[in-house]
Each structure stands twice: as C-alpha cells, then as structure tokens.
Amino acid sequence: MNGKMQIQVHLQIRISITSFAMFLVKTWRSIAFGLYGFKNFTKPGFMEHSKNFKSEDMQAQIEGKNCIVTGANSGIGYATAKGLASRGATVYMVCRNMERGEAARSDIQSETGNKNVYLEVCDVSSIADVKSFASRFSSKNVPVHVLVNNAGLLENNRVITSEGYELNFAVNVLGTYAMTELMLPLLEKAAPDARVITVSSGGMYTAPLTEDLQFSGNNFNGVEQYARNKRVQVALTEKWADTYKDKGIGFYSMHPGWAETPGVAKSLPSFSKSLSGKLRTSEEGADTVIWLALQSKEKLVSGGFYFDRAEAPKHLPFAATKGSHAAIDSIATSLHTLSRL
C-alpha cells in the first residue's frame, strides 16, 4: 500500500469513528431525554411536583402592571394571558390573527372580569411586523413589567418567510430576539421589577448550541430545528441576563412540560396521540410562567432555566451540550445583524 492510499484509509477510519461517536451522542441524548421527560414532563410529573408548590406563591395581585404575552390566542399563551388578567394585570395579547385574537381577548375579559385586556396584532415571524408593533406600542409610553415570549412554532417542512428566513428560526429565535431588544426601553421604565420570561422547551436538551441557525443541510428536520431554536432561547436568556444585569430587568427561560395544546396536536400528532391522557393541560403548562411573573425577583436567578416552579438543569448528564453555550456571543451578533436593529 503506497503512502497516498494509507492516508486515504486513515482519513476514512477517522471520519467513520467521528461519525459513529456523533451517532452515539445523539442517540444517548434522545434516550436520556425520553426517560427524563416521561418521568417529569407529563401530567403525572406535574402532579408529583405540585406537592411541593406553595399556594401563597400564586396569590399576589398585580393591578397596575403591564404584561405583554406573545402567541396569546391559544394554548399556553392563552392560559398565561388569562392567569395574569385574573390577577388584575393589564394584559396586551400579541396575536398573528386578528379574528382569533379578538375572540380570545373577549373570552378572557368575560371569564376574568378584567376589562384591561387588549389585542395587538403582530406576526412574530416578520421582523418588519415586530418593528411596527414595537413602534406603535412604544408610543403609549407605558412601562412594561412583564414580557412573555411565548409565540412558538414547530414546522416540519422547510418554509422560507417573505423576508428570506427559515420559518421556525424566524418565529422562535429571530422574532423573539427582536421583540425583546425592542422592548428594552419600556422594560427599563418598570425597573427594578421588570422581567422577560421566554417559553422554551425540554426539547432543547437534545441539541447543543449551533451557529447553523437556519439548518443549512439538505435533510431538513423540523423537530431537530425546533430543539436547536429552543437551545438558543436558553442561551440568549443567559446572555441577556449578563448584558443587562445593571438595568433592573430579570431574564428567565422555562419549560412548560409536555402539554396538550393545538400546536402540539398539529406539529406532533403521533407524539400527542401516543401520550393521550398523560399530557399536561395548557393551564399546567402555563403555571411556571405565571409563577415567574409573580415572584419577588430576589427569589429568582436571572439567566436561569425554570421548570415546575424551580430552577432546573440546562443540560442532561453526558449529553455534550454544556460547552456549546460559548458560541452565544457570536450568535447574538448574527441575530442583531439579521434583525437589522
């Protein structure tokens, strides 16, 4: 065997070993996530964890506080908006569809008796729309005490928005980033009580942080892209907490558990069907969002990831995701450029 052939063989062996190692790591992540999730993320998990809940934590009234909830016309967003409204908050529901948003707003007003519930129409997948909303809302010149980044999407096919971005990324990452950055001046008006709560997902446990934000490969996988997006949200929350630590704003990400929502039924029908009867309600999914909105900030860790009213780990054991968060500075720079803020 000549030298050239030896080099080729060695390269092939090295590539094969690397590919096999990556396969093992991804397989372990999926297995660990499945086992951990089935035990903790389901309705039985919520019932078990709720034994440690304190009822007084949810009894605060927040009249006079302004709360923005994106994706608020159904599922966890609707339950969050309703929960905040029932405690006296002035709630601004950010919804993509005016008709569905107006119906949801009317229902919340009727069920809570709170007339200070308003609809703001905005498609979070569009940077132009987010900027337009931010400009309109800023003209109100009101402090924002709570921003809940709930709008999310799991699209299984590669769809490109009119602005040229992969759709999952546009909603889950770029829109969320732009909404948060543009609301900062109004959040500062509510300091030191201001907070940003981003609804992530336990799916992020299966993905490290990657700078391939729009899934450039040919074999697009919507579930994997969603997991990547949710990992970015958790890392961004850490970044925001550090960058704006002197602004009087707390930043928190959270996992709602596996909840039975319209979005899950549409995007993951097999998953939804296989766990029928074991999924959480939207109200149970929203529980920790509302809890984070009500607690004294002294009880919370800015930059933390929360699940069932407690700080939770951001990485599963031996999943090789922890070191990946070092890429967040570069990713934040890319998001700033792409959103043209």
The pLDDT of residue 158: 97
**By three-state DSSP, how is residue 328 classified?**
helix
List, in sequence order, every residue forming a beta bridge with 90; answer none if it has no partner. 66
Q: Mean pLDDT over residues 191-205, rounded?
A: 96
In a domain, 4, yes or no: no
Q: Cα–Cα distance between 69 and 197 in angstroms, integer?
A: 9
Task: Give the pLDDT band (50/70/90) at residue 217.
Answer: confident
The pLDDT of residue 8: 52
In a domain, 225, yes or no: yes
Q: Cα–Cα distance between 338 and 131 in angstroms, integer?
A: 13
Task: Give the pLDDT band (50/70/90) at residue 60.
Answer: very high
Q: Mean pLDDT over residues 244-261, rounded?
A: 96
Q: Cα–Cα distance between 97 and 122 in angstroms, integer?
A: 8
Structural domain of residue 333, as residue ranges? 21-339
Token pair 């030896």 is found at 6
Give 117's contacts (C-beta < 8 A, 6+ positions apart).
81, 85, 90, 91, 93, 105, 108, 109
Q: Cα–Cα distance between 56 and 295 in angstroms, integer?
A: 10
**By three-state DSSP, how is residue 210 classified?**
coil
Q: Cα–Cα distance between 332 and 328 in angstroms, integer?
A: 6
Task: Give the tens place of pLDDT for each residue, 177-194.
Answer: 999 999 999 999 999 999
In a domain, 12, yes or no: no
Task: Give the tens place of pLDDT for each residue, 30-59.
Answer: 776 777 777 899 999 999 999 999 999 999
pTM of the model: 0.92
In a domain, 15, yes or no: no
Using alpha carbons, list the distances in angstroms from residue 184 to 85, 247, 288: 22, 9, 23
Q: Cα–Cα distance between 164 and 338 in angstroms, integer?
A: 10
Q: Encoding tokens for residue 337?
A: 């450029």
The chain-wide mean pLDDT, for the chain, equals 91
CB 248 within 8 A of CB 188: yes
CB 318 within 8 A of CB 28: yes
DSSP 270-319: HHHHHTTTTSBPHHHHHHHHHHHHHS-GGGS-TT-EEETTEE--SS-TT-
Between 32 and 240, the more confident residue is: 240
Burial class from Cβ neighbours inside 10 Å (0-12, 13-18, 19+) for residue 115 reads: exposed
- CATH number, position 305: 3.40.50.720
Q: Cα–Cα distance between 310 and 294 in angstroms, integer?
A: 14
Residue among 177, 226, 252, 306 flagged as catalytic? 226
In a domain, 7, yes or no: no
Where are the extended beta strands (E) located within the chain? 66-70, 90-95, 117-121, 146-149, 194-199, 249-254, 305-307, 310-311
Predicted confidence (pLDDT) at residue 23 exceeds the cutoff of 90: no
Task: Provide the number of structural domains found in the chain.
Answer: 1
CB 21 within 8 A of CB 29: no
In a domain, 1, yes or no: no
Q: Which of 148, 149, 169, 147 is nearest to 158 (CA)?
A: 169
Query: Strand 305-307 and strand 310-311: pairing?
Result: antiparallel
The fraction of the chain above a pLDDT of 90, given in percent, is 79
Q: Encoding tokens for residue 70?
A: 């994106």
Q: Cα–Cα distance between 9 and 172 in angstroms, integer?
A: 43
In a domain, 49, yes or no: yes
Task: Give the tens place of pLDDT for each residue, 101-141.
Answer: 999 999 999 999 999 999 999 999 999 999 999 999 999 99
In a domain, 159, yes or no: yes
* 41 secondary structure, DSSP code: T
Q: Cα–Cα distance between 202 and 67 in angstroms, integer?
A: 25
Range with the poorest average pLDDT among 10-14, 49-53, 83-87, 299-303: 10-14
Per the annotation, the verdict on 177 as an active-site residue is no
Q: Cα–Cα distance between 81 and 21 in angstroms, integer?
A: 44
